[in-house]
Amino acid sequence: MDQNAVWQQKVIDTISSIMNSGPEITHTIWQRNNLLLQPDNHVYKDYSSQFHKYLLQSLKFVEMYHRAEGVSPRYTKTYEWIYSNSDTATNSNFVRFLEGDQNLFWITGKPASGKSTLMKMISDDARTLQHLKVWASGECLLLCRFYFWCSGTAMQMSQEGLLRTLLHETLEFSPYLAPMAFPQRMENFVLFGNGIGFDAPWSIGELMEAYKQLVSELAKSTRMVLLIDGLDEFNGDHPEQAKLIEFLHTLLSLSSRVKACVSSRPWNIFADAFHTRPSLRVEDLT
């Protein structure tokens, strides 16, 4: 009750300040630079910590990491060429991508050529981080992963599953950004707890906007790398695939501190979107 009384007084003070300052700032109550996001606001910190906990629970789904855990491990020494520093006619230098300013690398190949196994190796191998640290130049580094899987559940082959996974991993890394990414849910949480309005169904629009906000803010101080396997296994028609590619390009355009490595079959929609990017075909190198 004491905490709520303090909170109520701060809300009253904020409303009073806004009324005396003119209509141009009436929309800023929940924006990142407002009273509620000040680091010395202990009441806000308590609410933010609880909100972050419930938000992660809401974003998580049972099969979130099943596909990544189920990808077959590589045989010893297989795919070692991915970390080679030499360029060949069939291998655009992957190490150069990791260490340099190029923001997207496309791994393609026929069905069952080993794309997912290669992506899992890239995700788990310590050399990936070693090379990325050259690009990061001492800044923090966040690696987020998602594996589309057409033989899995609806969530494992959907854009909602992708977004909820990326949001979950990013908010685990930066809990303090949760209220900024989901201001309306934060407001509902302050007013009603994890009840009314907080557990509303997720929409693609809300998830996309939240993730763009996170990327824009986090990339100011952190280098971000997205590893997305199996774009061809996304359960969407051609227009929906095009929107997914557009969303990926939008994320990369938000900051030079964001890059992505993606894999798919060599379908025309992906070839058209990524033909100017560094790439490799797995079957040419195995």
pLDDT digits (tens, 9 = 90+) for 74-107: 666 778 889 987 655 445 689 999 999 999 999 9
Find the mean pLDDT for residues 175-200. 83
224, 225, 223: which is closest to 261 by C-alpha?
225
pLDDT band, very low/low/confident/very high, at 130 (cuts 50, 70, 90): very high
- What's phi and psi for 206, nearest 5 deg? -65, -45
Residue 86 pLDDT? 65
Helices (H), the chain: 2-21, 42-59, 66-70, 94-99, 115-124, 126-136, 159-173, 178-181, 183-192, 204-218, 238-254, 268-274
Select from 1.20.1300.10, 3.10.180.10, 3.40.50.300, 3.30.230.10 the CATH code of 62-184+201-284: 3.40.50.300
pTM: 0.83
The strand pairing partners of 144, in sequence order, are: 226
pLDDT digits (tens, 9 = 90+) for 100-128: 999 999 999 999 888 999 999 999 999 99
Residue 245 pLDDT? 97
pLDDT digits (tens, 9 = 90+) for 221-272: 999 999 999 999 999 899 999 999 999 999 999 999 999 999 999 999 999 9
Strands 258-264 and 140-147: unpaired
Output the CA–CA distances (angstroms, integers) from residue 198 to 36, 37, 190, 234, in the order listed.
18, 19, 10, 28
